[in-house]
């Protein structure tokens, strides 16, 4: 972050830093995700760059007021490029005691707490395991506190609409949103429009919510003089000219798959089964039938992938999607897809594991599963999206690889990417190179040879229904040309090698350095959703004079051909991951590089500060780490010497 | 869906160059021949026909039919076939499965392909044993079956395939026997049915469960043990000397003697393939003292899954334009100067 400007005149709006982090926290029934989502939209419309992090419990309606029922939505926005949802919030909106208890530790020292005193009752304090009301003792002394009865003020505002107390209190989130809109100098009109559209069939509810929103806004205006509430204005972030919208990872994957199928000139068949956090993709695609999409909610994960394989066999682009446990169930069918060499896109929205794990929390721990996790020698390409917007391009790339190389492809995203939103410059669909799929309609020579390959190593795609091209395929090892069953030892050796080489020789773009020099002391290598925090941490470390570069890997299997050479230009290689070191293992295995791990499996994304600290530990002259010894943090940074 | 074009073929046209690898004397050979005999009679086009199977002895079937074929994985053929039919409803799909593949590991998929009513013929070869894995008891093995995994006899209650199919919502349920001359007629009825047509075929595993169906399938005495059902015909067996009557008090069938062919006087019921209650009773009819009901137990078509999917798609697509650029810029948008646009 830029150094703080000297205090200027105290004009309104207040002079602001270039980025602010706000966290809305409340009961899972308080509508915090909705509040956050609408605040995101108004922030985007104001031209700020932003990133969000919705963090909610697995329970749909956890018992009210409990610690485990707290739902939060964090947004980082600013007048400069934003890559993460932010480390510590500057502002915490706590709708009840439990929300305060769960989230206070994250708040920046000196940060602002906005709390609804109406919810700080004895009963709610007990549920949140508070012995005393924190708003009334000195436990919030390190922070600015703005505590007032949001509940009562909301009821006042909606009183003319004759809602009961219960329904009236449902408008609390809009009151709070109104206050937030005032704080950050946002227009209310888009929200008015949205509420009128959302409650078109219940004009009273719309009017009550608008009244609550306006009342919250008015409160900010009139209470302005009382510190610590100040209005902050962040000018728009500079960005490329063009049309923008906000997009979540699940939306971007869905749109990317639609675009990919169009570029392949194929109808898409999407087989899915409900699972958190992957279901959103099925929800989006189910509404896009006019784009040649058939969605099939199968009886289980296995049927979802098998139906997709059946559709690919019949000439469509088969796609399936799930999260770790569901991908585990699909594994045998992925082997069938690899054996029969049919196109298939598999999207894994990773979550905390193993087993059911943490369904609503993010993790990157399915990399081994993607790369190594099948019976037999069963290679398939693995690619990963780095952000919600990036997921669009990566989904197109998955469609390209699947159809051009006749293979299942694994696309890795995670719970963070799936749910988080960021601004997205809407691409021109014509800017992507089409890759039309080709079907073989007559034998290439005298004889029909369904397994005879082209120069890329791909076998022909032959649709049932094509006259004169009848043949049989299946999961048993097949003859290298005819595809008939073959138990011949030399043939199996040949086919195993062929399948391996086909994937190994896939053309992958050369690896580039995401940020920094081509050589140096430290390369920080990441994949997936750690892109944002790593990029920021590397930039900040460079500002401190560290010779560090950021390398971000999209193609995980096969790896870019030049990656080994690129990494050899650095003295040390650090791999931060939200698992116990899975990409590190792959890099060591494939490149014989002495990669070191920095791992985190708390279900929360990396913070920039913790990455920055780990990076700086490698450098001499950084304050607090003279000598640059790596052992600064034994738990997170294993010694470079393997212990016996 | 286009009307299928009938073409002329012979039995030979449906044979592949692949060496058939079932045990000599296996009932599968008879079923293969029955199918190869039936397909020309149906006017089927090899290029438009797809045989899809799971894993097991029965599931090798596609390799021996000169059409398109997909030998998938254990139990999952109904799911693969559902994808095939949704992608191309014009294909004529035959599913080949067995008692282990279709009712044990794949029981879930079998249930759902039947209740969805995906248009295909499902042949379940029931030999009451796991043959390919060398003779373990299966979900249809009778209690007390001695196998390597049940050396003193199995204790599991067996599943009844036709009752399972009806319970899953199947709209066509039939039974046949591998060596029966009537099998092609049963298969033709299944093919004529629009929707999921379930056919249980008793199949003799001569190595691991030899002659387990002999009590009704052996040629000698078959007349007295087999009840071949025909829609609108009285349910007679044993050369017309016996029949099934309905005991209204017990809500059950009884076997009655028919004297001088006067089945009406004996109270013999007429088979009605659209009577679902009767189908349940026939599927559950305990063999001995009752005969084994064979042929079409139930045939009452309902709209197919793929036709419903297509109809819904057409209704939903009508009037909508597939404009990718418009889709990508959906929702609320803004330009870099910060001015919001109306939702596109």
The predicted-structure confidence for A163-207, as pLDDT tens digits, reads as follows 889 999 999 999 999 999 999 988 899 899 999 999 999 999 999
Same domain as B209, residue B249: no
Burial class of residue B76 in the structure, from the number of CB atoms within 10 Å of its CB (0-12 exposed, 13-18 middle, 19+ buried): buried
Q: Which residues pair with A251 in a beta bridge?
A: none
CB nearest B91 (choices: A239, A243, A314):
A314
Contact between A516 and A550 under an 8 Å Cβ cutoff? The reply is yes
- Which of chain B's residues have a Cβ under 8 Å away from the Cβ of A236? 336-338
Same domain as B257, residue B133: no
- DSSP H helix total and E strand total for chain B: 12, 14
- Which of chain A's residues have a Cβ under 8 Å away from the Cβ of B83? 269, 271, 296, 306-314, 318
Same domain as B249, residue B106: no
SS3 A115: strand
Q: Which residues of chain A have pLDDT under 70?
A: 1-16, 224-229, 621-644
SS3 A318: strand
The pLDDT score that the predictor gives to residue A228 is 66
Residue B326 is assigned to a structural domain of this protein: no
For chain B, the domain total comes to 2
Best interface-test mutation with A: which of B336, B337, B341, B342 has the largest number of A CBs within 10 A? Answer: B336
The DSSP H or E segment spanning A177 is helix A172-183
Beta strand ranges found along A249-316 (DSSP E): 268-272, 293-297
Contact A314 B80 (CB under 8 A): no
Contact A47 B336 (CB under 8 A): yes
The set of residues, in sequence order, having a beta carbon less than 8 Å from that of A153 and lying 6+ positions away, is: A175, A215, A216, A219
Residue B194 is assigned to a structural domain of this protein: yes
The pLDDT score that the predictor gives to residue A4 is 37
CB nearest A269 (choices: B73, B87, B338):
B87
Same domain as B199, residue B163: yes
The pLDDT score that the predictor gives to residue B196 is 98
Contact B68 A470 (CB under 8 A): yes
Contact A484 B63 (CB under 8 A): yes
Domain that holds residue B266: 234-270
- Which of chain B's residues have a Cβ under 8 Å away from the Cβ of A314? 83-84, 87-88, 91
Contact A311 B87 (CB under 8 A): yes
Residue B318 is assigned to a structural domain of this protein: no
- Which of chain A's residues have a Cβ under 8 Å away from the Cβ of B328? 255, 259, 426-427, 429
Interchain CB contact of A442 with B (< 8 Å): no
Chain A: closest CA distance from residue B38 (Å): 19
Residue B329 is assigned to a structural domain of this protein: no
Interchain CB contact of B82 with A (< 8 Å): yes
Interchain CB contact of A296 with B (< 8 Å): yes
The interface residues of chain B toward chain A in range 42-81, judged by CB-CB distance below 8 A, are 46-48, 50, 52, 55, 62-63, 66-73, 76, 78-81
Residue B122 is assigned to a structural domain of this protein: yes
The pLDDT score that the predictor gives to residue A622 is 60
- Name the closest residue on chain A to residue B83, using Cα atoms: A307
Classify strands B49-53 and B68-71 as parallel, antiparallel or unpaired: parallel
Residue B60 is assigned to a structural domain of this protein: yes
Same domain as B258, residue B167: no
What does the DSSP assignment read for B244-282?
A: EEEETTTTEEEEEE-STT-HHHHTBPBP-TT-HHHHHHH
The pLDDT score that the predictor gives to residue B2 is 56
In angstroms, the CA B138 to CA B97 distance is: 13
Same domain as B129, residue B100: yes
Q: Which residues pair with A577 in a beta bridge?
A: A599
- Please state the length of chain A: 644
Contact A314 B316 (CB under 8 A): no
Q: What is the largest CA-CA distance in chain A?
A: 89
- Tokens matching residue A20: 């602010």
- Name the closest residue on chain A to residue B113, using Cα atoms: A299
pTM of the model: 0.91
Chain B: closest CA distance from residue A470 (Å): 5
The pLDDT score that the predictor gives to residue B4 is 72
CB nearest B73 (choices: A46, A245, A333):
A333
- Which of chain B's residues have a Cβ under 8 Å away from the Cβ of A306? 72-73, 76, 79-80, 83, 109
The interface residues of chain A toward chain B in range 170-199, judged by CB-CB distance below 8 A, are 190
CB nearest A298 (choices: B67, B71, B79):
B79
- Please state the length of chain B: 344
Burial class of residue B288 in the structure, from the number of CB atoms within 10 Å of its CB (0-12 exposed, 13-18 middle, 19+ buried): exposed
The pLDDT score that the predictor gives to residue B237 is 97
The pLDDT score that the predictor gives to residue A621 is 59
Contact between B302 and A205 under an 8 Å Cβ cutoff? The reply is no
Chain B: closest CA distance from residue A282 (Å): 16
Q: Is the sign of the CA dihedral A444, A447, A448, A449 positive or negative?
A: negative
Same domain as B258, residue B172: no
Q: Which residues of chain B have pLDDT under 50?
A: 338-344
Same domain as B143, residue B263: no
Residue B292 is assigned to a structural domain of this protein: yes
Contact A429 B328 (CB under 8 A): yes
Contact A465 B91 (CB under 8 A): yes
- Name the closest residue on chain B to residue A392, using Cα atoms: B328
Q: Kindly list the strands in the beta sheet with B252-257, ordered across the sheet, starting from the edge strand earlier in the chain.
A: B236-237, B242-247, B252-257
Classify strands B333-335 and A243-248 as parallel, antiparallel or unpaired: antiparallel
Residue B339 is assigned to a structural domain of this protein: no
CB nearest B83 (choices: A41, A307, A470):
A307
Same domain as B142, residue B254: no
In angstroms, the CA A293 to CA A386 distance is: 25
Torsion of the alpha carbons at A148, A152, A157 and A160, rounded to the nearest 10: -170
- Tokens matching residue A405: 């190389």
CB nearest A314 (choices: B46, B88, B109):
B88
Interchain CB contact of A482 with B (< 8 Å): no
Same domain as B226, residue B265: no
The set of residues, in sequence order, having a beta carbon less than 8 Å from that of A110 and lying 6+ positions away, is: A142, A143, A144
The pLDDT score that the predictor gives to residue A630 is 44
- Which of chain B's residues have a Cβ under 8 Å away from the Cβ of A463? 88
The pLDDT score that the predictor gives to residue A235 is 85
Distance of alpha carbon A45 from the chain centroid = 22
CATH number assigned to the domain comprising residue B183: 3.40.50.970
Same domain as B184, residue B36: yes
CB nearest A310 (choices: B83, B316, B320):
B83
Same domain as B242, residue B138: no
CB neighbours of residue B290 within 10 Å? 18
Q: Is the sign of the CA dihedral A381, A382, A386, A387 positive or negative?
A: positive
The interface residues of chain A toward chain B in range 222-261, judged by CB-CB distance below 8 A, are 236, 239-246, 255, 258-259
Chain A: closest CA distance from residue B306 (Å): 11
């Amino acid at each position: 972050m830029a150094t703080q400007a000297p205090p200027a005149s105290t004009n309104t709006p207040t002079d602001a830093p270039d980025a602010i982090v706000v966290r809305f926290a409340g009961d899972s029934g308080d509508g915090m995700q909705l509040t956050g989502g609408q605040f995101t939209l108004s922030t985007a419309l104001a031209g700020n760059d932003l990133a969000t992090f919705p963090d909610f419990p697995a329970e749909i309606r956890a018992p009210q007021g409990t610690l485990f029922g707290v739902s939060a939505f964090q947004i980082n926005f600013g007048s400069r490029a934003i890559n993460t949802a932010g480390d510590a919030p500057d502002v915490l909106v706590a709708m009840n005691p439990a929300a305060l208890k769960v989230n206070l530790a994250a708040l920046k020292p000196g940060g602002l707490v906005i709390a609804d005193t109406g919810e700080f009752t004895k009963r709610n304090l007990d549920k949140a395991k508070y012995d005393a009301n924190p708003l009334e003792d000195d436990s919030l002394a390190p922070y600015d506190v703005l505590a007032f009865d949001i509940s009562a003020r909301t009821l006042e505002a909606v009183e003319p609409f004759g809602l009961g107390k219960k329904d009236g209190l449902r408008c609390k989130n809009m009151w709070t949103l109104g206050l937030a809109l005032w704080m950050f100098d946002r227009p209310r009109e888009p929200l008015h429009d949205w509420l009128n559209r959302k409650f078109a069939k219940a004009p009273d509810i719309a009017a009550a919510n608008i009244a609550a929103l306006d009342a919250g806004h008015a409160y900010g205006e009139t209470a302005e003089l009382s510190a610590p509430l100040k209005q902050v204005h962040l000018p728009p972030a500079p960005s490329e000219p063009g049309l923008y919208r906000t997009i979540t990872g699940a939306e971007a994957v869905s749109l990317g798959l639609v675009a990919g199928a169009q570029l392949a000139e194929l109808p898409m068949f999407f087989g899915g089964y409900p699972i958190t956090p992957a279901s959103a993709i099925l929800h989006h695609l189910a509404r896009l039938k006019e784009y040649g999409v058939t969605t099939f909610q199968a009886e289980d994960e296995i049927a979802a992938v098998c139906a997709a394989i059946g559709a690919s066999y019949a000439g469509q682009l088969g796609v399936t999607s799930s999260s770790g446990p569901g991908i585990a169930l699909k594994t045998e069918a992925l082997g069938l897809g690899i054996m029969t060499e049919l196109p298939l896109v598999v999207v894994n929205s990773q979550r905390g594991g193993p087993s059911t794990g943490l369904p609503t929390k993010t993790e990157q721990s399915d990399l081994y599963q993607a790369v190594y996790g099948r019976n037999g020698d069963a290679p398939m390409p693995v690619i990963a999206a780095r952000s919600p917007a990036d997921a669009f391009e990566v989904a197109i790339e998955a469609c390209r690889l699947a159809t051009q190389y006749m293979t299942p492809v694994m696309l890795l995203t995670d719970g963070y990417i799936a749910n988080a939103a960021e601004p997205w410059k809407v691409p021109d669909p014509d800017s992507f190179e089409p890759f039309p799929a080709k079907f073989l309609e007559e034998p290439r020579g005298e004889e029909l040879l369904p397994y005879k390959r082209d120069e890329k190593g791909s076998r022909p795609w032959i649709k049932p229904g094509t006259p004169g091209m009848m043949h049989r395929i299946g999961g048993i090892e097949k003859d290298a040309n005819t595809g008939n069953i073959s138990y011949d030892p030399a043939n199996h050796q040949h086919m195993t090698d062929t399948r391996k080489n086909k994937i190994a020789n896939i053309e992958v773009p050369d690896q580039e350095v995401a940020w920094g020099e081509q050589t140096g002391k430290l390369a920080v290598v990441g994949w997936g959703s750690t892109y944002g925090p790593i990029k920021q941490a590397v930039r900040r470390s460079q500002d401190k004079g560290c010779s560090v570069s950021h390398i971000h890997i999209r193609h995980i299997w096969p790896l870019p051909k030049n990656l080994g050479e690129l990494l050899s230009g650095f003295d040390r290689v650090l791999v931060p991951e939200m698992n116990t070191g899975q990409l590190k293992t792959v890099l060591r295995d494939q490149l014989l590089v002495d990669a070191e791990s920095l791992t985190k499996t708390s279900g929360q994304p990396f913070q920039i500060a913790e990455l920055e600290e780990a990076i700086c530990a490698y450098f001499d002259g950084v304050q607090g780490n003279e000598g640059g010894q790596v052992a600064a943090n034994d738990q997170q940074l294993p010694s470079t010497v393997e212990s016996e | 869906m286009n009307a299928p074009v009938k073409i002329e073929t012979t039995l030979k046209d449906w044979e592949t160059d692949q060496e058939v690898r079932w045990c000599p004397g296996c009932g599968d050979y008879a079923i293969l021949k029955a199918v190869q005999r039936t397909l020309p009679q149906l006017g089927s086009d090899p290029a438009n026909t797809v045989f899809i199977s799971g894993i097991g002895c029965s599931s090798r079937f596609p390799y021996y039919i000169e059409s398109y074929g997909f030998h998938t994985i254990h139990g999952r053929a109904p799911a693969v076939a559902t994808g095939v039919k949704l992608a191309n409803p014009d294909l004529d799909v035959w599913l080949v499965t067995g008692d282990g593949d279709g009712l044990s590991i794949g029981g879930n998929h079998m249930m759902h392909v039947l209740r969805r009513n995906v248009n295909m013929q499902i042949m379940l070869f029931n030999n009451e044993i796991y043959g390919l894995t060398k003779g373990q008891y299966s979900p249809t093995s009778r209690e007390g079956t001695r196998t390597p995994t049940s050396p003193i006899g199995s204790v599991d209650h067996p599943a009844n395939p036709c009752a399972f199919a009806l319970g899953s919502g199947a709209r066509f349920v039939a039974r046949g026997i591998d060596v029966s001359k009537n099998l092609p007629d049963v298969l033709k009825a299944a093919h004529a049915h629009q929707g999921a047509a379930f056919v249980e075929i008793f199949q003799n595993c001569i190595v691991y469960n030899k002659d387990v169906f002999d009590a009704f399938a052996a040629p000698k005495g078959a007349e007295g043990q087999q009840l071949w059902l025909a829609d609108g015909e009285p349910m007679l067996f044993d050369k017309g000397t016996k029949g099934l009557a309905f005991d209204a008090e017990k809500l059950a069938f009884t076997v009655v003697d028919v004297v001088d062919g006067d089945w009406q006087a004996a109270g013999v019921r007429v088979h009605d393939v659209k009577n679902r209650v009767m189908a349940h009773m026939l599927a559950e009819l305990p063999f001995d003292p009752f005969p084994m009901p064979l042929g079409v137990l139930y045939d009452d078509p309902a709209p197919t899954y793929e036709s419903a999917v297509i109809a819904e798609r057409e209704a939903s697509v009508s009037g909508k334009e597939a404009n990718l650029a418009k889709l990508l810029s959906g929702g609320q948008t803004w330009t870099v100067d910060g001015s919001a646009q109306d939702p596109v």
